[in-house]
A and B are shown apart, each in its own frame.
Chain A
Amino acid sequence: MKHRRRSLDNSRRHFLRGVGVALALPWLDSLPWTAASAEAAAAGAQAAGAATAGPPLRMGIVFFSNGVEPAHWWAKGSGATMELGPAALPMLPHREDMVFIKGLFNQSAFVSTSPHLGRMNLLSGAPISLDPNVIRAGTSMDQVVANAIGDKTAIPSLVLGVEPNELRLEDGLSMIYGSSLSWVSPSKPATKEIYPSRAFDRLVGDGTGRALDRSILDAVRAESAGLKPRVSRDDHHKLDEYFEGIRDIEKRIERANKEERLEGWRPSIDKPDMPRPKNELPQNVPDHMKLMLDLIVLAFQMDKTRVATLMLNNDLSQMNFKFVEGVQGALHLDLTHNGRVADKEAMYLKTNQFHIQQFAYLTERMKNIKEGETSLLDNSILLGASSLFDGDLHGADQVPILITGKGGGTIKGGRILDYLDKGDANRKVCSLHLSLMDRMGVKLDGFGDATTRLTEL
């Protein structure tokens, strides 16, 4: 009996949320305030009983599949004179806001016998389950953060993609790995939204006028008690996922109905500054990606969420890159595995550049949005990365990583951090995650295979 109660009350989410609240807010002491925001902060502080308030820190993660061509992926120098390899060239205007990180790797990805799906643990560091009956990829870093700070915003996190989930097995493993970057629990992928209109609706829906939804959800949730004694424990656990989803929505509706904010800080806009996207999926990929990136900016700007991930494409992507001039063929088979044929390699480079260009666009847009005397980018951490390094060889000895944004004054741009020769213990992707989570207000002793922070970041 006691056993049961514990499992109900002491849920993982509950716990993490507790952690989040207790954490120091790193951006508080490092940012200058405008008079207006100070006023708002004061008002908010009075309401919430906190000391001061300012723009919160946001984290955006952009994933591109199939890695890069190593010969094209390099950076030299620093600051305004940093030089970039051809694949990273679109970042040139932002080099002073960027940290180019070399040499990080994921041990469990590196040793996996599954060349693609076994490497789709970029954000968790946990081994991908090779047992076809057990889906397991580890909770991803963005979702750990969302669990901790998600209750501060209308939506805990925004999980976006461009390509739909693939419904097949690859080498006997579910393509859910290839289609999912974010995992809310070790065994549960976050539902990825690929429809811009739906994502938009989530951002804009304010929870008012959802009385009907609440009554339906309440009634359904009441079924939970009746089900429990009738079904097996496994099934009950599975069904509980559903009820937990309901509870999450109900909480969100409640939060949205409450006007006050803990910090008393007001976002720079309170209504979307873009039209609602059409119901259909955009016909061409660049439009689709741009919309998704714009939605991330909108979400951050309206402070609807502080954590967002976007998969520009799935692993083993079928995306046909004919929309990039001079490119013909599909990303995975035609262009990545190009057989080292020159013209195909050139096309592969263009896809690399195209991916980086999307990241540059996001950086650029956020840089141009003011939040008081700072920019949205200043109050953000943007991470651009892939699960592979050399896409053709499924290389996992290191992964390409770019960071932009000042992280609320905690990250200095214009640098190259090279960990390749610093020893395996000191070059873990999960160390980076620990470092980034620190900044997002989630301080953990360990994450994935790491227990130490990344030095120098």
Chain B
Amino acid sequence: MKRLGFCALLFGALVSVIAAQSQPRTSGSERAAARPAPAIPTRTPTRTTASRTSVAPPAPGVAPVASHRLPSAAETGAPAAAATFEKYCSDCHTGARAKGNIDFDKLTDRMSATGVADKADTWEDVAHMLESRDMPPPDDADDFPTDAERAATVAWIRTSLDEYDAKYAGDPGRVTVRRLTSAEYAYAIRDLTGIDIRTGIDASSDSVGGEGFANFGDVQSVQDTTVEHYLEAAKQIADHAVIGSGPLAFYTDSGDTGLELSALDRIDRLYASRGFRAVSGEGGRPFGQERYAKAFYVAWHFAHRAALGDPAATLRGLAAKEGITGRFAEHMWDVVNRAGAGYPSSDMIAAWRAIPPPTADVAASVARARTDTDALTKKLVVWPSWFFARGDIAAGGAGDESPLVFDDSSLTVEPKHAYTYALNRRFVRPMPGQPPPAGPQLAAGPWTVHLTFDTLHKGAGTPVVVWRNPRVVLRTPASLPGPFEPVAITRARVPGPILKTFPLKDILPAEEIARLRFGVSPDGTPIGDNDFAATGPIKLEINVDHEKYLAELHTDVELGADRDAVVRVMINNRPDGVARMLGQRVFVGDPKSEGYRTFRAGIAEFVALMPPNSHGEANPADKDPVPPPFDNTYNSPEHDAFVLKVKYQRTDDFFTKNLVEGAERAALEHAWTDLLGSWPYHDAYLGMLLDHFAVTDAPRKIVEMTPARIAALPAAMQADVKKLRAHYDATTAAMTQAQPGHVADVLTFASRAWRRPLTPGEQASLRAFYRTSRTIGKLSHEGAIRATLARVLMSPAFLYRVESAPRGTELTLNDWEMASRMSFFLWSSIPDDELRRAAAAKELSDPKKLAAQVARMTADPKARRLATEFFGQWLGFYHFDEYRGVDTGRFPEFTDAVRTAMYDESVSTFEYMVRERRPVKEIIDADYTFLNQPLAKFYGLDEKLVPEDKAAKDQVRKVEGVSKFDRGGALRLGAVLTTTSAPLRTSPVKRGDWILRRILSTPTPPPPANAGTLPADDKSFEGQTLRERLTAHKRDAKCASCHLRIDPLGFPLEGFDAVGRTRTAYNDGKPVDTTGEFRDKTTIVGTAGLLGYLQKHDARVLTTLSRKMIGYALGRTPQPSDRRLIGEMVKAGGDATFTDLATRIVTSRQFRNRARGADLPPAPAPAPTPDTPTASAGVENNP
């Protein structure tokens, strides 16, 4: 008997297989008919595979056939239950007028476990009614079910559901491959490239289905136009690739400009993160000097490591702690330990060595060392400013326009200098068209003048400076230009003709003359009667009638007997201040002397060891010097041509040698190579050189500069051209060398984009594509790389969330597929490195590890996308920033800024709930919201609720305790209240429907087509209230049944107007009535009432949330086999967090598995291929 049964089954199975194979392609209509119930059900006859191949839950309408086994308890109980319903319920609950929409004719049609599960909600209601004895109603019938009948029927319902669950719960269900939505596409590109690119893949390629999300494969479609858009986008993204001498990267600008600007950006970033600058021209700000202090400290700590109780300390270890590079620490260690350093390095080194060693009180010693290293840094930073008498910001000045340069011209010394110092001149430049400034044009006296000098280098004796023939010269002040005279005033114009000259000796008081000892030199230098010699600073006071004369002090200055001395001489009105006027500060010395050479070497040493700037800007300002042999004069034609044509100059020797190393150093070299290789830099430079030397018969392209041609150039430029050519060759070589790396980088890119390791075949195919693009396609390396990138982005492996499913078995997703499902669920994008690592380590089959990943991912900033995508689509504020449904003529306050803020409010609220692990019940009744000041004002709240932040004043911020203002949670979001209104008035119907549909998931059917409408504008209500209008509408019975359910949930929100502001009265002054009255005459009032109502029905709310989450995560509609998972999620309660619920989903069977594909009904049916042409369109359209 048993054997016979088995054979019969086997035969049945064979028949079905044959039937399936021989079944011709049917038209749509036949297919549709065939879909619910295959003629011969396929069974799985073997015992060994039975457990693995648990049958997928049949589509609605499919009754599991159970001919080969004993009937289940549910099946046994069905007839009795049917009889009970027939006997006690069918009077009221059948047919078109079935009460409460419960029709036992339909329900008892399918009394299988699957049938019951399909209508589980209804059946559970039935069970509840029977148990509670609410049904049948006592007054309605004379025949009542017995207790036993009640119990048996309820038991049958429960057993049926249990049987169904036992068999099917957690079934993965049919999930159609999903294409990236436009949002996912954008996020994925962002995560892949690190930049935002507006690709033009927009919502026009999306559509929404299932639970109301765009990530639902069944409703997505593609055709050639879509593919064209993808192609354009892919090429556009590939254009943003930076293909230079380093690894493949992406940048906000595309093409060659992208290479150039990204290189500049990379250089600047490195300079900013590692370098420093104390003095700078043209408004440059100083930065990074603290790195000197840290390096000095590291050196001190290292020197005293034993005493500090840190004997194992290393320079590199300490540097890492301080946040400076190891290379820099080592360099400064060498500096402070340098023997025989010259001036001024010697001063700095001495100061470092003077820092007291640690005492027993380590903390105090360290604090002291910190103070001292800071002071030393200050000294170091200030010294160049002092030296050149500048006003750099770092030295406490107001900034210096010109850059600091140590070179032959800035370090020129003169044996003798002739000073002309204006005593009372003021340079007043009237503005064109303005009257000259009021008041005296010449400053009143007496004027204090300091003649000072500082010793920069000492020879054998004490340095002496000789002031020769000091005299006061008087001139007539030049007239100032008239108010409307064009301003062309120059310094030359100001002084008038000389009227008188007074030797200083003639006008100084006697005691001053005595003090200065005119005519006598301490070191025996011969000097005249009107001359005097000084060993230190001299202070003079001079007075002249300032209204009559313009007075000047003229004097020559020269060295005394010690010709090896180098001194800095200044005439100024301050004893120690800056002397920025031209010619006020000079270096006096003998350029031929040994002393001068020592001085120069000392400065060069200092600049090499402790420069004030670690680097010059890559893109110099126009005041920055240009390199020799070009004319370095500011605004000279050659200088300007250089700045304009050559654009970039690399002056970062110190940075390169002493600040960066290893990968950073390599990155810097790559960036410079890219910067100078991204455009014809070398040709431009060569052109400048040729022009400078007036060479007209040489090639102007660097590639054509062969050694022979270089040899034919003027000798003076050969070295430069050789260097340039070598640099060009090196640049080209570096670019070429990087090429294989780029191909490898594209493969890595592909593996990230495709969200799994590439197969060897795929790797080979991508490499082949690159090669053929170069050979057959004749593309450059760069072009071929871009083409390959575009090709990667065009692959279905990127555009679709492909999951493998060999036909026939339920399949557990592999780790990579899990990683992808998780990241698209929680981030709407591709997995990050950590998730990829976990996938590679095969951790994503371990529920504990899955939970940890979910927790990590929901806390990540990328979880904001959940707020945008999941909550936005669920609650209806998706793309609210582009919402056009408000009549801004009526509501002018509803500005774009308010709209954006409302959108941010919504997104930020849910982002906060997710990332901060708030209980999900707060979705409904949070006591906080996110506002910016304009939105607070719009809502009629005190703007001060939102702390002011000038830096980001549009940013919404969390504001607590808002429920007292009737804010907080989904229902009271401006965006939600606005989208559920008509353009000109509120709509309690839309709001009620929103709650029924989106919060309670008990939608009402659409209104009949000819349902009357209410005026779109509450101004057209002719004195009636909206409620009165709706009440009239409800008198129509066909409208009433739904409105009795919808309206009571909408009216409590009447306290908000059509753009989400609270209100107490309508436009016409009538008070707002926020009472919602249910069919049973119970009422709820206002938001409080509504929130209470929803709290009472929180299981319903949680069911909705669970269904939506499952629908969003899986990309399919929840099905009866999800009941158990939903049940668990609901049971977790309102205190559960989104992360808790997401974890349940991610660790569920349905999330971790894929249904077998083959014997599931194909849907939607593929386009039919009819045999007779003429029938085609007609049949297609007549399913």
Chain A residues within CB distance 8 Å of chain B: 3, 6-7, 10-12, 15-16, 18-19, 113-115, 124-127, 132-136, 138-139, 144, 159, 164-165, 167-169, 171-172, 174-176, 179, 184-195, 198, 202, 211-213, 215-217, 219-220, 222-223, 226-227, 229-235, 237-239, 241-246, 248-249, 252, 318-320, 322, 328-330, 333-335, 337-341, 344, 392-396, 430, 443-449, 451
Q: Are B1164 and A396 in contact (CB under 8 A)?
A: no
A10 vs B1171: C-alpha distance when bound (angstroms): 9
Q: Closest A-chain residue to B776, C-beta based?
A: A215
Residues in A whose Cβ lies below 8 Å from that of B209: 132-133, 135, 169, 174, 176
Given the interface pairs A235-B177, A248-B224, A330-B983, the reply to whether A185 lies near B1181 with Cβ below 8 Å is: no
Residues in B whose Cβ lies below 8 Å from that of A430: 1181
User: Which residue among A12, A136, A232 has the maximum number of chain B CB atoms within 10 Å of its CB?
Assistant: A232
Q: Are B1175 and A445 in contact (CB under 8 A)?
A: yes
In the assembled complex, the CB of A338 is this many whole angstroms from the nearest CB of chain B, namely 6
Q: Top 7 nearest A-B pairs by Cβ distance?
A: A232-B1157, A339-B1015, A446-B1178, A176-B207, A248-B224, A245-B227, A235-B177
Residue of A12, A169, A396 near B208 (CB, 8 A) is: A169
A176-B207, A215-B769 known, 9 other contacts, Cβ within 8 Å:
A18-B1173, A19-B1173, A113-B1005, A230-B806, A233-B1162, A235-B803, A239-B177, A242-B179, A252-B224
Between A and B, 12 residue pairs with Cβ closer than 8 Å are A10-B1169, A115-B1007, A134-B218, A176-B208, A186-B1164, A186-B1167, A188-B221, A198-B229, A212-B235, A234-B176, A318-B884, A393-B1010
Q: Are A445 and B227 in contact (CB under 8 A)?
A: no
Q: Are A139 and B1009 in contact (CB under 8 A)?
A: no
Residues in B whose Cβ lies below 8 Å from that of A393: 1009-1010
Residues in B whose Cβ lies below 8 Å from that of A320: 884, 887, 983
A451 vs B1116: C-alpha distance when bound (angstroms): 38
In the assembled complex, the CB of A168 is this many whole angstroms from the nearest CB of chain B, namely 6
Residues in A whose Cβ lies below 8 Å from that of B145: none
A448 vs B1178: C-alpha distance when bound (angstroms): 5
Residues in A whose Cβ lies below 8 Å from that of B1015: 338-341, 344
Chain B residues within CB distance 8 Å of chain A: 21, 25, 28, 174, 176-177, 179, 200, 202-210, 212, 214, 217-229, 231, 234-235, 761, 765, 769, 772-773, 777, 779, 787, 790-791, 794-797, 799-800, 802-807, 873, 876, 878-879, 884-885, 887, 889-890, 982-984, 997, 1003, 1005-1011, 1013-1017, 1020, 1116-1117, 1154, 1156-1158, 1160, 1162-1170, 1173-1178, 1180-1183
Residue of A241, A322, A333 near B222 (CB, 8 A) is: A241
Residue of B225, B1013, B1176 near A444 (CB, 8 A) is: B1176
Residue of A134, A194, A217, A227 near B1164 (CB, 8 A) is: A134
Residues in A whose Cβ lies below 8 Å from that of B800: 238-239, 242
Q: Are A329 and B807 in contact (CB under 8 A)?
A: no
Residues in B whose Cβ lies below 8 Å from that of A12: 1167-1169, 1176
Q: Are B791 and A216 in contact (CB under 8 A)?
A: yes
Residues in A whose Cβ lies below 8 Å from that of B1156: 232
User: Which residue among B1008, B1014, B1163 has the maximum number of chain A CB atoms within 10 Å of its CB?
Assistant: B1163
Residue of B878, B1005, B1177 near A446 (CB, 8 A) is: B1177
Residues in A whose Cβ lies below 8 Å from that of B1162: 233-234, 237
Residues in B whose Cβ lies below 8 Å from that of A139: 1177, 1180-1181
Residue of A189, A198, A333 near B983 (CB, 8 A) is: A333
Q: Are A135 and B1009 in contact (CB under 8 A)?
A: no
A362 vs B516: C-alpha distance when bound (angstroms): 101
Q: Are B1169 and A6 in contact (CB under 8 A)?
A: yes
Residues in B whose Cβ lies below 8 Å from that of A6: 25, 1169
A3 vs B26: C-alpha distance when bound (angstroms): 12
Q: Are B206 and A167 in contact (CB under 8 A)?
A: yes
Given the interface pairs A186-B1180, A191-B223, A231-B804, the reply to whether A172 lies near B876 with Cβ below 8 Å is: no
Given the interface pairs A249-B227, A318-B885, the reply to whether A235 lies near B212 with Cβ below 8 Å is: no
Residues in A whose Cβ lies below 8 Å from that of B174: 234
A447 vs B922: C-alpha distance when bound (angstroms): 53
Residues in A whose Cβ lies below 8 Å from that of B889: 322, 328
Main SS class of interface, B: loop
Q: Are B887 and A190 in contact (CB under 8 A)?
A: no
Residue of B218, B887, B1178 near A133 (CB, 8 A) is: B218
In the assembled complex, the CB of B1039 is this many whole angstroms from the nearest CB of chain A, namely 13
In the assembled complex, the CB of A105 is this many whole angstroms from the nearest CB of chain B, namely 13
Q: Closest A-chain residue to B805, C-beta based?
A: A232
Residues in B whose Cβ lies below 8 Å from that of A444: 1174, 1176-1178
Q: Closest A-chain residue to B801, C-beta based?
A: A235
Residues in A whose Cβ lies below 8 Å from that of B997: 172
Residue of A18, A169, A212, A222 near B777 (CB, 8 A) is: A212
A146 vs B493: C-alpha distance when bound (angstroms): 84
Residue of B878, B884, B1174 near A167 (CB, 8 A) is: B878
Q: Are A126 and B806 in contact (CB under 8 A)?
A: no
Q: Closest B-chain residue to A245, C-beta based?
A: B227
Q: Are A165 and B794 in contact (CB under 8 A)?
A: no
Residues in B whose Cβ lies below 8 Å from that of A186: 28, 1164, 1167, 1180-1181, 1183
In the assembled complex, the CB of A309 is this many whole angstroms from the nearest CB of chain B, namely 13
Q: Are A448 and B887 in contact (CB under 8 A)?
A: no
Q: Are B1182 and A185 in contact (CB under 8 A)?
A: no
Given the interface pairs A212-B787, A248-B223, the reply to whether A219 lies near B769 with Cβ below 8 Å is: yes
Residues in B whose Cβ lies below 8 Å from that of A167: 203, 206-208, 214, 873, 878-879
Q: Are B802 and A239 in contact (CB under 8 A)?
A: yes
In the assembled complex, the CB of B455 is this many whole angstroms from the nearest CB of chain A, namely 68
A341 vs B1015: C-alpha distance when bound (angstroms): 7
Residues in A whose Cβ lies below 8 Å from that of B802: 227, 230-231, 235, 239
In the assembled complex, the CB of A279 is this many whole angstroms from the nearest CB of chain B, namely 9
Residues in B whose Cβ lies below 8 Å from that of A338: 1013, 1015-1016
Given the interface pairs A135-B207, A245-B223, A338-B1015, the reply to whether A231 lies near B805 with Cβ below 8 Å is: yes
A110 vs B765: C-alpha distance when bound (angstroms): 54
A159 vs B1167: C-alpha distance when bound (angstroms): 21
In the assembled complex, the CB of A281 is this many whole angstroms from the nearest CB of chain B, namely 10
Residue of B217, B777, B982 near A211 (CB, 8 A) is: B777
Residues in B whose Cβ lies below 8 Å from that of A223: 795-797
Q: Closest B-chain residue to A233, C-beta based?
A: B1157
Q: Are A3 and B1176 in contact (CB under 8 A)?
A: no
Residues in A whose Cβ lies below 8 Å from that of B1116: 133
Residues in B whose Cβ lies below 8 Å from that of A125: 1181
In the assembled complex, the CB of A250 is this many whole angstroms from the nearest CB of chain B, namely 9
Q: Are B1175 and A215 in contact (CB under 8 A)?
A: no
A335 vs B1017: C-alpha distance when bound (angstroms): 10
A115 vs B177: C-alpha distance when bound (angstroms): 31
Residues in B whose Cβ lies below 8 Å from that of A449: 1181-1182
In the assembled complex, the CB of B643 is this many whole angstroms from the nearest CB of chain A, namely 34
Q: Closest B-chain residue to A341, C-beta based?
A: B1020
Residues in A whose Cβ lies below 8 Å from that of B1174: 443-446
Q: Are A216 and B1016 in contact (CB under 8 A)?
A: no
Q: Are A15 and B1009 in contact (CB under 8 A)?
A: no
In the assembled complex, the CB of B1108 is this many whole angstroms from the nearest CB of chain A, namely 12
A394 vs B1157: C-alpha distance when bound (angstroms): 41
Residues in A whose Cβ lies below 8 Å from that of B206: 165, 167
A155 vs B619: C-alpha distance when bound (angstroms): 49
A127 vs B765: C-alpha distance when bound (angstroms): 46
Residue of B204, B231, B1182 near A126 (CB, 8 A) is: B1182
A217 vs B234: C-alpha distance when bound (angstroms): 12
Residues in B whose Cβ lies below 8 Å from that of A19: 1173
Residues in A whose Cβ lies below 8 Å from that of B779: 212
Q: Closest B-chain residue to A115, C-beta based?
A: B1009
A335 vs B220: C-alpha distance when bound (angstroms): 32
Residue of A11, A138, A195, A329 near B1180 (CB, 8 A) is: A138
Residues in A whose Cβ lies below 8 Å from that of B765: 219, 222
Residues in B whose Cβ lies below 8 Å from that of A339: 1013-1017, 1020
Q: Closest A-chain residue to B1004, C-beta based?
A: A171
Residue of B203, B983, B1017, B1177 near A341 (CB, 8 A) is: B1017
